[in-house]
């Protein structure tokens, strides 16, 4: 066994109705909360009200910015941070999917620096490693989707609107102090969001498992997460109002979030290349992953026969494989992934997402500027030529 | 799925040679360490030297108390705490098995209260819930056995020498800040200690799995831990110098420690009743568990057929069961446990450990005074009559 490290500094509260405890759970973190909520669904379905009711009951003051958009933009983070500072908020709450939670982390970080431009702290900026920065304000994440795992990772991703990149960063201080995962909040998600975010969970689980820095701790979580997604996602897309199915997907998301985030196993080339698709086209993250995943497995299956065979066995979920021979299982992992994605209604190539040939070169540049850490976690060494080839094959 | 909570505030460093990093990993916790080390083996095998070398290199001052005995006694904790305060130490390091780590936690707690008598904070004392106490000094645990899991739990157990009880207590502040699990430190453990501590790991994993407060998080860790122990323990008892086998047992211990401790699933009646055997007879903890375990499964197997069938499947480790019928598997869990214990050289009843009939009544009293929390985690309600019956059947 190799040497490894982990911890889960975030206090994780999982279960129906847990949102009602957000006030009690966060009142030790500060006196006034800056609440960042997603634009579309939060008001309509009453989640924001449930959250503010709880804050009021616990005597926690708050200011709301309920205008978080998908793929948060640099200028929005700067603006929200100004608001947070001006209103004297001393901690941040993100309510929504990955975009709201990432915004909460970015604002908590930038506010602790006294404001400024978030681009200074992202790839291409003056301090992308966050060296010698002050610890972020305390962060509470309340997730309303089963995807991204942002509540259990230190990372936040902000879109650089100048060059259309989606660089990510983070440090120990941008891990949430409290994460609330309340499956009841996910009941209202439309099937397409359930599908996209669920696919993201599958990729987090799968990539962290076949990552060069996977550990015995993250492997057991990644395997459990993959098993749950493969069994549950096809059902929950059809039956989104089933609370038990929602809870299972929410739990799979937590497991995968820990694996990639606080467990430190990261993702691999699929996420590294996928982020650049999101930067160029603003398509949902899960679809970008789906367009690349089968090609990645095809290019790397012989890097670890045992692990890729395990991935196939899980994807098959009891179905009969072509052969039970391990090498054959590993070799067909790409095929089995495609079949699973088809089962959840996703047959997508990069060109279907609006990617054109001329974007491949800038996307490749962007991978190296923004996601080289994840790229380097792939079990096979990825050269620039390999990145280009993967993009071309996946078009 | 039910509502649940978890976190792992302890930074876990796992791997060969990690003890050499203890200085670097603990220098942010304080300036002067109070090191509590086990009496017998620590000097002989150079572990204490490795630890102090690392502290010196990192410029951390220290004072050593290398006289920790098995089942730490109240008066020793009081004496060591006086020493810790007198010498101006601001954090504690436990180096050894459960006794050394529990001593470090107890001293870190009592020193933060300004000293006094540890019995005040244990069952029967004036403040057994640690209400309104000050947070303990920071704690570092360096485990030299694969047993107890103390490095990942908030609890510490101290023997009350007045009434021969072994009450346990603890709170969030008595969770270690840093845990170092270095399999190389375990190479020198004699087969009997490997056996006793390994059995303890099996019971932590099994009991946390069949606990009323088990969660989806702890279940996945408990299952993985049981699987590793069942496969590895028979081999490592025979071949203690195999570092890979040592690493596997060390890892199983971490998993089970998280399950019972920081994952909050606790143990059940086996531990509740077993502690009182240890209090009366001072026998190794693992043997006390082994004398009770099969009787417990016999008395409770029908409380959850699925879970007890899973326990049987794991204990069988690929061997053919009498029947693959789930009910039959669950019903025979006691038999399969006995067979596994026999395989690792332990066929023991309570009377073999020096327990006599007249001890049963005071032991039962003690269960209710010291371990009622664990008793109440059993899937079947345990009355006083059930406790008496379990002791009698296991004699």
pLDDT in tens, A340-368: 999 999 999 999 999 999 999 999 999 99
| Residue pair B119/B64 in contact by the 8 Å Cβ criterion | no
Residues B94, B101: Cα–Cα separation, whole Å: 4
A5 has a chain B CB within 8 A of its CB? yes
Give this prediction's pTM.
0.95
| Residue pair A64/A41 in contact by the 8 Å Cβ criterion | no
- The two beta strands, A156-157 and A168-169, are antiparallel
Here the ipTM equals 0.93
Instruction: Give the ranges where chain B is alpha helix by DSSP (H).
Output: 22-26, 47-57, 74-86, 98-112, 191-209, 216-238, 243-260, 269-281, 285-300, 305-316, 326-331, 333-343, 360-370, 372-375, 384-394
Quick one: which of A232, A223, A208, A217 has its CA closest to A1? A217
| Residue pair B263/B211 in contact by the 8 Å Cβ criterion | no
What's the mean pLDDT in B371-388?
94
Is residue B281 predicted with pLDDT exceeding 90? no
Question: CA-CA distances (angstroms) from residue A306 to A215, B80, B247, B395?
Answer: 15, 51, 21, 47
In terms of Cβ atoms closer than 10 Å to its own Cβ (0-12, 13-18, 19+), residue B112 is: buried
Mutant choice from B3, B22, B225, B258 vs A, greatest count of A C-beta within 10 A: B3
Measured between CB atoms, which of A7, A9, A220 is closest to B220?
A220
Chain A residue whose CA is closest to B222: A220
Does the distance separating the beta carbons of A12 and B5 come in below 8 Å? Answer: yes
Chain A residue whose CA is closest to B249: A1
What's the mean pLDDT in B295-313?
98
Is residue B316 predicted with pLDDT exceeding 80? yes
Question: CA-CA distances (angstroms) from residue B20 to A391, B51, B103, B179?
Answer: 44, 7, 22, 13
Q: Which residues pair with B73 in a beta bridge?
A: B159
In terms of Cβ atoms closer than 10 Å to its own Cβ (0-12, 13-18, 19+), residue A343 is: middle
A135 has a chain B CB within 8 A of its CB? no
B213 has a chain A CB within 8 A of its CB? no
Does the distance separating the beta carbons of A16 and B6 come in below 8 Å? Answer: no
Quick one: which of B59, B60, B100 has its CA closest to B80? B100
Q: How many CA atoms lie within 13 A of A77 on its CB side?
A: 32
CATH topology of domain B191-394: Dehydroquinate synthase-like, alpha domain (1.20.1090)
A1 has a chain B CB within 8 A of its CB? yes
* DSSP string of A22-59, one letter each residue: HHHHHTTT-SEEEEEEETTTTTTTTHHHHHHHHHHHTT
Does the distance separating the beta carbons of A5 and B7 come in below 8 Å? Answer: no
Binned at pLDDT 50, 70 and 90, residue B44 comes out as low
Quick one: which of B43, B90, B88 has its CA closest to B66? B43
Cβ within 8 Å of A, B 165-184: 183
pLDDT digits (tens, 9 = 90+) for B174-218: 999 999 999 999 998 899 999 999 999 999 999 999 999 999 999
Distance from CA of B151 to the nearest CA of A (A): 13
A261 has a chain B CB within 8 A of its CB? no
pLDDT score at A188:
87
Does the distance separating the beta carbons of B15 and A3 come in below 8 Å? Answer: yes
DSSP 8-state code for residue B67:
E
Does the distance separating the beta carbons of B5 and A14 come in below 8 Å? Answer: yes
Distance from CA of A94 to the nearest CA of B (A): 19
pLDDT digits (tens, 9 = 90+) for A100-148: 999 999 999 999 999 999 999 998 899 999 999 999 999 999 999 998 8
- The two beta strands, A4-14 and B4-14, are antiparallel
Distance from CA of A296 to the nearest CA of B (A): 28
Q: Which residues pair with A169 in a beta bridge?
A: A156
Question: CA-CA distances (angstroms) from residue A76 to A5, A65, A81, A186?
Answer: 35, 10, 8, 25
Does the distance separating the beta carbons of B251 and A1 come in below 8 Å? Answer: yes
Look up tokens 């990955």; give the residue: A98
B342 has a chain A CB within 8 A of its CB? no
| Residue pair B306/B326 in contact by the 8 Å Cβ criterion | yes
Residues A161, A111: Cα–Cα separation, whole Å: 20
Contacts of A7 in chain B (CB under 8 A): 8-12
Does the distance separating the beta carbons of B7 and A9 come in below 8 Å? Answer: yes
Q: Which conformational region is residue B137 in: left (phi greater than 0), alpha (psi within -120 to 50 degrees), or beta?
A: beta
Chain B residue whose CA is closest to A254: B217
pLDDT score at A68:
94
Quick one: which of A223, A291, A287 has its CA closest to A256? A223
| Residue pair B302/B265 in contact by the 8 Å Cβ criterion | no
Distance from CA of B248 to the nearest CA of A (A): 8
Residues A162, A160: Cα–Cα separation, whole Å: 5
Is residue A41 predicted with pLDDT exceeding 70? no
Q: How many CA atoms lie within 13 A of B87 on its CB side?
A: 19
Measured between CB atoms, which of B5, B244, B247 is closest to A13?
B5
Does the distance separating the beta carbons of B221 and A1 come in below 8 Å? Answer: no
Does the distance separating the beta carbons of A1 and B247 come in below 8 Å? Answer: yes
In terms of Cβ atoms closer than 10 Å to its own Cβ (0-12, 13-18, 19+), residue B53 is: middle
Is residue A374 predicted with pLDDT exceeding 60? yes
Q: How many CA atoms lie within 13 A of A382 on its CB side?
A: 28
Distance from CA of B269 to the nearest CA of A (A): 27
Residues A42, A95: Cα–Cα separation, whole Å: 8
Helix (H, G, I), strand (E, B) or coil at A315: helix
How large is the angle between the packed helices A98-112 and A74-86, nearest 10 degrees? Answer: 60
- The two beta strands, A4-14 and A178-181, are parallel
Quick one: which of A192, A241, A224 has its CA closest to A310? A224
What number of other Cβ atoms are within 10 A of residue A356's Cβ? Answer: 11
Contacts of B18 in chain A (CB under 8 A): 3
Q: Rounded to an integer, what is the distance from CA B95 to the centroid of its chain?
A: 14
| Residue pair A125/A109 in contact by the 8 Å Cβ criterion | no
What number of other Cβ atoms are within 10 A of residue A349's Cβ? Answer: 15
Does the distance separating the beta carbons of B7 and A16 come in below 8 Å? Answer: no
What mean pLDDT is reported for chain B? Answer: 95
What mean pLDDT is reported for chain A? Answer: 95
Binned at pLDDT 50, 70 and 90, residue B235 comes out as very high
What's the mean pLDDT in B151-162?
94
Distance from CA of B221 to the nearest CA of A (A): 8
B328 has a chain A CB within 8 A of its CB? no
Binned at pLDDT 50, 70 and 90, residue A165 comes out as confident
Question: CA-CA distances (angstroms) from residue B204 to A190, A214, B213, B234, B286?
Answer: 42, 25, 14, 17, 10
pLDDT score at B45:
72
Q: Please list the helix, strand and coil fractions of chain B in percent, rounded to the nearest 5, in that order.
A: 55, 15, 30
Hey, where are the domains in chain B? 11-186, 191-394
Question: CA-CA distances (angstroms) from residue B291 to B349, B352, B392?
Answer: 5, 9, 11
C-alpha gyration radius of chain B: 20
Distance from CA of A179 to the nearest CA of B (A): 10
Contacts of B172 in chain A (CB under 8 A): none
Distance from CA of B25 to the nearest CA of A (A): 12
User: Which is it for the CA torsion B266, B272, B275, B279, positive or negative?
Assistant: positive
Q: Give the length of chain A.
A: 395
Token pair belonging to B282: 């001072």
A10 has a chain B CB within 8 A of its CB? yes
Token pair belonging to A136: 């972020």
Quick one: which of A224, A186, A227 has its CA closest to A317? A227
Among A316-320, B39-43, B357-361, the least confident range = B39-43
What number of other Cβ atoms are within 10 A of residue B375's Cβ? Answer: 22
Contacts of A186 in chain B (CB under 8 A): none
pLDDT score at B380:
94
Cβ-based neighbours of B184, under 8 Å, separated by 6 or more: B16, B17, B19, B243, B246
| Residue pair A103/A72 in contact by the 8 Å Cβ criterion | yes
Question: CA-CA distances (angstroms) from residue A137 to A140, A257, B21?
Answer: 10, 21, 30
Distance from CA of B295 to the nearest CA of A (A): 31
Helices (H) and strands (E) in chain B, counts: 15, 8
Q: What CATH architecture is A11-186?
A: 3-Layer(aba) Sandwich (3.40)
Share of chain B above pLDDT 90, in %: 90
What's the mean pLDDT in A84-94?
98
User: Which is it for the CA torsion A185, A190, A191, A196, positive or negative?
Assistant: negative
Helix (H, G, I), strand (E, B) or coil at A91: strand
Contacts of B255 in chain A (CB under 8 A): 220
Binned at pLDDT 50, 70 and 90, residue B38 comes out as confident
Question: CA-CA distances (angstroms) from residue A350 to A166, A291, A326, B140, B176?
Answer: 17, 5, 30, 50, 48
B87 has a chain A CB within 8 A of its CB? no
């Amino acid at each position: 066994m190799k040497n490894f490290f982990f911890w889960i500094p975030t206090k994780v509260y999982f279960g129906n109705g847990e949102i009602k405890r957000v006030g009690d759970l966060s009142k030790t973190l500060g006196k006034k909360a800056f609440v960042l909520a997603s634009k579309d669904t939060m008001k309509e379905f009453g989640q924001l009200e449930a959250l503010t009711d709880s804050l009021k009951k616990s005597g926690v003051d708050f200011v709301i910015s309920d205008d978080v958009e998908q793929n948060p933009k640099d200028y929005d983070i700067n603006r929200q941070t100004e608001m947070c500072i001006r209103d004297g908020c001393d901690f941040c709450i993100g309510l929504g999917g990955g975009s709201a939670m990432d915004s909460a982390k970015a604002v908590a970080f930038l506010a602790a620096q006294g404001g400024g431009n978030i681009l200074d702290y992202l790839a291409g900026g003056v301090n992308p490693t966050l060296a010698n920065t002050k610890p972020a304000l305390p962060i509470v994440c309340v997730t309303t989707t089963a995807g991204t795992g942002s509540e259990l990772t230190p990372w936040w991703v902000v879109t650089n609107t100048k060059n259309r990149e989606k660089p990510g960063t983070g440090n120990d201080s941008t891990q949430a102090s409290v994460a609330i995962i309340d499956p009841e909040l996910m009941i209202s998600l439309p099937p397409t969001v359930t599908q996209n975010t669920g696919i993201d969970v599958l990729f987090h689980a799968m990539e962290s498992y076949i990552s060069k820095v996977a550990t015995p701790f993250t492997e057991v979580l990644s395997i459990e997460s993959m098993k749950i997604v493969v069994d549950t996602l096809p059902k929950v897309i059809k039956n989104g109002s089933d609370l038990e199915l929602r809870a299972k997907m929410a739990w799979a998301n937590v497991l995968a979030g820990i694996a990639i985030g606080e467990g430190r196993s990261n993702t691999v080339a699929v996420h590294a290349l996928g982020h650049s698709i999101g930067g160029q086209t603003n398509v949902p993250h899960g679809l970008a992953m789906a367009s690349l995943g089968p090609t990645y497995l095809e290019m790397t299956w012989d890097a670890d026969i045992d692990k890729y065979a395990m991935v196939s066995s899980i994807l098959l979920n009891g179905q009969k494989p072509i052969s039970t021979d391990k090498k054959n299982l590993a070799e067909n992992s790409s095929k089995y992934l495609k079949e699973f994605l088809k089962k959840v209604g996703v047959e997508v190539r990069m060109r279907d997402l609006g990617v054109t040939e001329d974007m491949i070169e800038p996307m490749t540049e962007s991978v190296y500027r923004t996601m080289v850490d994840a790229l380097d976690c792939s079990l096979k060494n990825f050269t620039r030529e390999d990145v280009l080839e993967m993009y071309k094959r996946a078009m």
